[in-house]
């Protein structure tokens, strides 16, 4: 076969492209960020669900909440501890962002790390940035 | 392990509740795992409720164009409605137009001067049989049990079939990002993003916390909302004692906005 | 068989590269539309569907029109069309691809397009339109590919292919009927609210589709060694003749009903298109051109002497195609939105970016068509040994 060299060169180029993300980012791995809590959130002690659960599943909760609020007009969430919460991402002091008003440190840090860009803030208005 | 199973059950339970299928939830609840409290989703106890929301607009109470401004302004402000500079991109939830445009086929040459020259408020009719809901391919627009026709902006794909379907021209489309055109953002209500359709939502977000729609609140009693199925309600009282008309009744869509002329 | 598409002469490559260039430029404009929003088009609150949806509607017709070569061959055993059924099927593939692209181009949030599957809504005609179009695309890909492959291998296509082909014959009118139902079931739009809309769509489809096929056949005869055949072209011409006559007849039925009943909400749209309304008349010259083209093509096609002259036939097909394109691709959608539900006249005209994106989709369609036709014709040249 005369094409042997061409095929092998092609395969090598293909392999290099395939693995590009790995060697391009080699040695650049950053540590897993830890979301920061505001004083208000610290004082509240409990969220709508346990911390570990929220870390892993907050997007599911948000998804269920959004359907519940928009489509069924259900706006009150009673957690397992019996506490009532206003089911809202960004409206009012008792909404998600009312407590976690530090979007940059609470949301963006991990989202950037995981390279996800939720489009929440295309419509929902961000809490004002805290001035330090 | 235990935790993930628990999460799954909980999520399934909540989702079932979200879909309004209680039997499913009960089945899960009696599924043998012992929790003291199940997470629950409820309506706000202060929420205003109705079997069928309706609105009566007493047009006799409006004297000049200035009377409409605070009403429209209240809605625009609360709902973060942009003021676009390009006419093609305009967005309206509630606006005014002349009798001959609002009540097509009901006008005639010799209609009295007040009606001829007075603008009429127009907004989504929250139809009994909404053509927009029929047309929507994703259920992004839907009719709630209490008759309010709503938009789920998260789900809308922007096909604009609903705009073609609406016989009242009540829908607008975000031809571009609306944010630069909102003078003062109301932090209590989201804006929209480009590429989705929007319209009057009967202030669903206000009803849910026990407030009447913003236009009614700003109207000095010219706009009244209430339950069409409740014979004691103020709207029924008004409908009983006054002759009212609706827009394009011949289409059979069953508008919920009544006008006293 | 795909390798046949990369063995071509200089002219073939010029065409391919030319089409790719148009596609590339249009893609750039589409990215702009994606980031800015549909505000770069001429559409508005009042005319909320424009050029994209109009092209989509017209091209569903062209796709359905392909069935006019498939049907006589498979159902009536009209052997002569055996030579060219593949052209009809491949034209259908290219057309449906364009249709789907126009839909995507028209969406405000194209990234969410799959919500249509995630939240299936059988009450929405758009849901059904998505199904019929995709099934039709699949049917034509399977049938077309297997038929041409069988031809290359000098065997007869398998029996199940014939079954699928017959199924696609039933399916073809369905795609355009459902597309018409998108419009004619809407309560507030008098222009579309007519039971004749779906039949009218089909008639214009069965005229425009085969007319384009005749033109393609004539081009193929000129630039390749494969001759689609004189008889085939004449048979197609007769189909086109009947279809365009029926199309104009249906239109006249509509005109009678609307103008004899004199119901304003039905009349005003046609008045706007053909005479202008409240001083707005952007489409008037276009609509009369369309009418003149369709009527002229009828005169040329009905007369056997002019029809049998292939130069005249080609001319008739060109004006017929343009005429039906103006009718559906310009008048049909705008006409339904003007005047708007509050009876204001807000006119629509596509913007330059909108036209470029539209051209890009057409170029993509012709790119697909060129490659598919190249494959089909290479196989035919190979088999006949020329």
Distance from the Cα of B140 to chain A's closest Cα (Å) equals: 9
pLDDT band with cut points at 50, 70 and 90 for residue B6: very low
The answer to whether the CB of A91 falls within 8 A of the CB of B188 is yes
Hey, are the CB atoms on B18 and A122 less than 8 Å from each other?
Answer: no
Write the CATH number for C206.
Answer: 1.20.1630.10
Instruction: Select from A88, A93, A108 the least CA-distant residue to A35.
Output: A108
Phi-psi region at C34: left, alpha or beta (left = phi > 0; alpha = psi -120 to 50): alpha
Sheet holding A84-86, edge to edge: A84-86, A76-78, B40-42
pLDDT band with cut points at 50, 70 and 90 for residue B23: very low
Hey, are the CB atoms on C37 and B163 less than 8 Å from each other?
Answer: no
Q: What is the b/e burial string over B41-57, where b = at least 16 CB atoms within 10 angstroms of the residue's CB?
A: beebeebbebebbbbbb
Identify from B2, B18, B82 which residue to disrupt to test chain A contact, counting A C-beta atoms within 10 A and taking the largest count. B18
Q: Is B184 on the interface with A (CB under 8 A)?
A: no
Hey, are the CB atoms on B104 and C265 less than 8 Å from each other?
Answer: yes
Hey, are the CB atoms on C109 and B251 less than 8 Å from each other?
Answer: no
pLDDT band with cut points at 50, 70 and 90 for residue B156: very high
Q: For residue B16, list chain A residues with Cβ-Cβ distance below 8 A.
A: none
Look up the domain containing C169 and give its range.
2-384
Q: Which residue of A has its CA nearest to B196?
A: A123
Q: Which residue of A has its CA nearest to B18?
A: A68
Hey, are the CB atoms on B160 and C108 less than 8 Å from each other?
Answer: yes
Q: What is residue C2's predicted lDDT score, i.e. its pLDDT?
A: 80
Hey, are the CB atoms on B41 and A66 less than 8 Å from each other?
Answer: no
Q: What is residue A130's predicted lDDT score, i.e. its pLDDT?
A: 57
B contact residues 92-131, partner A, Cβ 8 Å cutoff: none
Say yes or no to pLDDT of B31 above 50: no
Distance from the Cα of B2 to chain C's closest Cα (Å) equals: 30
pLDDT tens digits for range C177-221: 999 999 999 999 999 999 999 999 999 999 999 999 999 999 999
Hey, are the CB atoms on B169 and C337 less than 8 Å from each other?
Answer: no
Identify from B145, B148, B174, B187 which residue to disrupt to test chain A contact, counting A C-beta atoms within 10 A and taking the largest count. B187
Say yes or no to pLDDT of B33 above 60: no
Q: What's the CA gap between A88 and A66, in Å, rounded?
A: 8
Q: Which residue of A has its CA nearest to B204?
A: A73
Q: Which residue of C has its CA nearest to B123?
A: C342
Q: Which residue of C has its CA nearest to B167?
A: C188
Q: Which residue of A has its CA nearest to B178?
A: A123
Hey, are the CB atoms on B37 and A81 less than 8 Å from each other?
Answer: yes
Hey, are the CB atoms on C112 and B157 less than 8 Å from each other?
Answer: yes
A contact residues 88-117, partner B, Cβ 8 Å cutoff: 90-92
Hey, are the CB atoms on A80 and B35 less than 8 Å from each other?
Answer: yes
Q: Considering its fold, how many domains does chain C have in total? A: 1
Number of CB pairs < 8 Å for B and C? 153
Whole-number percent of chain A with pLDDT over 70 = 96
Helices (H), chain A: 4-18, 20-24, 39-44, 51-72, 96-99, 103, 109-113, 120-123
pLDDT band with cut points at 50, 70 and 90 for residue B21: very low
pLDDT tens digits for range B105-122: 888 889 888 888 889 999
Name all chains with 3 or more CB-CB pairs below 8 Å to chain C. Answer: B
Q: Is B7 on the interface with A (CB under 8 A)?
A: yes
Q: What is residue C84's predicted lDDT score, i.e. its pLDDT?
A: 92
B41 → closest Cβ in A52, A68, A92: A68
Say yes or no to pLDDT of B28 above 50: no
Q: Is B193 on the interface with A (CB under 8 A)?
A: yes
B175 → closest Cβ in C38, C123, C183: C38
The answer to whether the CB of C248 falls within 8 A of the CB of C196 is no
Query: Please, what are the domains in chain B?
Result: 1-42 (no CATH), 53-260 (3.30.70.20)
Helices (H), chain C: 10-36, 51-65, 67-76, 85-106, 115-118, 125-152, 159-184, 197-223, 230-261, 264-274, 284-302, 304-308, 310-326, 333-337, 352-384
This complex has an ipTM of 0.91
**Residue C133 CA: distances (Å) to CA of C60, C136, C173, C373:** 8, 5, 11, 21
Identify from C36, C54, C104, C115 which residue to disrupt to test chain B contact, counting B C-beta atoms within 10 A and taking the largest count. C115
Average pLDDT over residues B83-112: 93
Identify from B33, B44, B133, B148 which residue to disrupt to test chain A contact, counting A C-beta atoms within 10 A and taking the largest count. B44
Q: What's the CA gap between B149 and B137, in Å, rounded?
A: 15
Say yes or no to pLDDT of A59 above 60: yes
Low-confidence ranges of chain C (pLDDT < 50): none
For residues A99 and C317, the model is more confident at: C317
Distance from the Cα of C168 to chain B's closest Cα (Å) equals: 25
**Residue C91 CA: distances (Å) to CA of A62, B21, C214, C363, C365:** 47, 48, 12, 14, 9
Q: What is residue B7's predicted lDDT score, i.e. its pLDDT?
A: 52
Q: Which residue of A has its CA nearest to B194?
A: A122
Number of CB pairs < 8 Å for A and B? 90
Identify from C34, C37, C51, C190 which residue to disrupt to test chain B contact, counting B C-beta atoms within 10 A and taking the largest count. C37
How far from chain centre, in Å, is Cα B128? Answer: 13
Q: What is the b/e burial string over B229-255, where b = at least 16 CB atoms within 10 angstroms of the residue's CB?
A: eeeebebbebbeeeebebbbeebebeb
Hey, are the CB atoms on B100 and C46 less than 8 Å from each other?
Answer: no
How far from chain centre, in Å, is Cα A30? Answer: 17
pLDDT tens digits for range B185-214: 998 999 999 999 999 999 999 999 999 999
For residue C72, which phi and psi values (nearest 5 degrees)? -60, -35
Hey, are the CB atoms on B152 and A92 less than 8 Å from each other?
Answer: no
Q: What is residue C250's predicted lDDT score, i.e. its pLDDT?
A: 97
Instruction: Select from C167, C103, C160, C105 the least CA-distant residue to C135.
Output: C167
pLDDT band with cut points at 50, 70 and 90 for residue A34: confident
Q: What is residue B198's predicted lDDT score, i.e. its pLDDT?
A: 97
Q: Which of A14-23, B20-29, C56-65 has the highest mean pLDDT?
A: C56-65
Beta strands in B129-206 (DSSP E): 141-143, 149-151, 172-173, 197-198
C343 → closest Cβ in B101, B137, B173: B101
Q: Which of A92-96, A116-120, B244-248, C381-385 has the highest mean pLDDT?
A: B244-248
B176 → closest Cβ in C37, C113, C118: C37
């Amino acid at each position: 076969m005369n094409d042997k060299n061409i095929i092998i060169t092609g395969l090598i180029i293909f392999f290099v492209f395939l693995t590009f993300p790995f060697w391009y980012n080699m040695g650049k791995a950053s540590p897993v960020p830890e979301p920061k809590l505001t004083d208000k959130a610290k004082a509240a002690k409990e969220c709508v669900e346990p911390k570990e659960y929220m870390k892993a599943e907050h997007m599911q909760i948000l998804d269920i909440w959004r359907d519940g609020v928009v489509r069924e007009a259900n706006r009150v969430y009673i957690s397992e501890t019996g506490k009532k919460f206003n089911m809202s991402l960004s409206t009012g002091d008792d909404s998600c962002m009312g407590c976690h008003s530090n979007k940059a440190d609470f949301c963006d840090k991990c989202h950037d790390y995981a390279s996800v860009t939720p489009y929440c803030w295309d419509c929902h208005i961000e809490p004002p940035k805290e001035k330090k | 392990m235990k935790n993930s199973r628990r999460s799954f059950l909980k999520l399934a339970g909540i989702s079932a509740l979200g879909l309004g299928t209680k039997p499913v939830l009960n089945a899960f609840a009696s599924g043998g795992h012992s929790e003291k409290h199940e997470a629950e989703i409820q309506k706000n106890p202060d929420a205003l409720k109705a079997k069928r929301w309706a609105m009566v607009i007493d047009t006799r109470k409006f004297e000049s164009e200035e009377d409409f401004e605070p009403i429209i302004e209240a809605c625009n402000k609360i709902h973060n409605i942009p003021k676009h500079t390009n006419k093609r991109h305009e967005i309206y939830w509630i606006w005014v137009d002349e009798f001959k445009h609002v009540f097509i086929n009901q006008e005639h040459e010799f209609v009295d001067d007040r009606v001829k020259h007075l603008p009429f408020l127009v907004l989504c009719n929250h139809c009994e049989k909404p053509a927009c809901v029929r047309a929507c391919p994703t259920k992004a627009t839907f009719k709630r049990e209490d008759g309010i026709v709503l938009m789920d902006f998260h789900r809308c794909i922007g096909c604009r079939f609903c705009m073609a379907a609406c016989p009242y021209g009540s829908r607008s489309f975000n031809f571009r990002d609306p944010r630069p055109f909102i003078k003062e953002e109301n932090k209590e209500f989201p804006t929209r993003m480009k590429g989705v359709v929007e319209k009057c939502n009967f202030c669903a977000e206000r009803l849910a916390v026990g407030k009447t729609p913003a236009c009614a609140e700003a109207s000095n009693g010219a706009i009244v909302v209430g339950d069409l199925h409740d014979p004691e309600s103020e709207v029924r009282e008004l409908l009983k004692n006054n002759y009212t008309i609706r827009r394009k009744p011949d289409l059979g869509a069953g508008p919920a906005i009544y006008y006293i002329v | 068989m795909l390798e046949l598409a990369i063995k071509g002469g200089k002219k073939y490559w010029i065409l391919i590269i030319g089409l790719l260039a148009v596609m590339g430029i249009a893609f750039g404009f589409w990215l702009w539309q994606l980031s800015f929003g549909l505000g770069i088009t001429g559409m508005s609150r009042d005319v909320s569907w424009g050029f994209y949806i109009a092209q989509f509607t017209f091209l569903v017709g062209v796709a359905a029109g392909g069935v006019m070569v498939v049907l006589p061959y498979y159902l009536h055993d009209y052997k002569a069309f055996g030579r060219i059924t593949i052209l009809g099927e491949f034209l259908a593939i290219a057309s449906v691809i364009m249709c789907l692209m126009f839909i995507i181009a028209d969406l405000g949030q194209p990234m969410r397009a799959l919500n249509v599957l995630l939240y299936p809504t059988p009450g929405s005609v758009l849901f059904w339109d998505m199904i019929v179009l995709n099934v039709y695309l699949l049917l034509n890909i399977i049938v077309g590919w297997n038929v041409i492959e069988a031809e290359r291998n000098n065997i007869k296509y398998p029996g199940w292919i014939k079954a699928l082909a017959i199924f696609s014959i039933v399916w073809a009118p369905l795609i355009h009927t459902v597309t018409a139902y998108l419009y004619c079931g809407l309560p507030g739009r008098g222009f579309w609210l007519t039971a004749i809309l779906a039949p009218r769509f089909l008639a214009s489809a069965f005229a425009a589709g085969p007319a384009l096929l005749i033109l393609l056949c004539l081009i193929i005869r000129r630039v390749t060694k494969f001759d689609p055949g004189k008889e085939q072209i004449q048979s197609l011409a007769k189909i086109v003749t009947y279809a365009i006559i029926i199309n104009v007849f249906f239109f006249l039925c509509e005109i009678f009903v609307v103008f004899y009943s004199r119901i304003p909400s039905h009349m005003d749209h046609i008045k706007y298109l053909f005479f202008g309304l409240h001083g707005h008349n952007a489409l008037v010259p276009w609509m009369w051109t369309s009418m003149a083209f369709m009527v002229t093509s009828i005169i040329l096609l009905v007369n056997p002497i002019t029809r049998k002259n292939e130069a005249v036939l080609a001319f008739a097909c060109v004006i017929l195609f343009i005429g039906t394109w103006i009718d559906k691709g310009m008048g049909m959608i705008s006409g339904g939105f003007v005047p708007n539900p509050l009876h204001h006249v807000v006119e629509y005209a596509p913007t330059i970016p909108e036209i470029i994106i539209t051209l890009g989709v057409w170029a993509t369609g012709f790119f697909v068509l060129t490659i598919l036709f190249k494959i089909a014709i290479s196989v035919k040249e190979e088999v006949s040994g020329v």
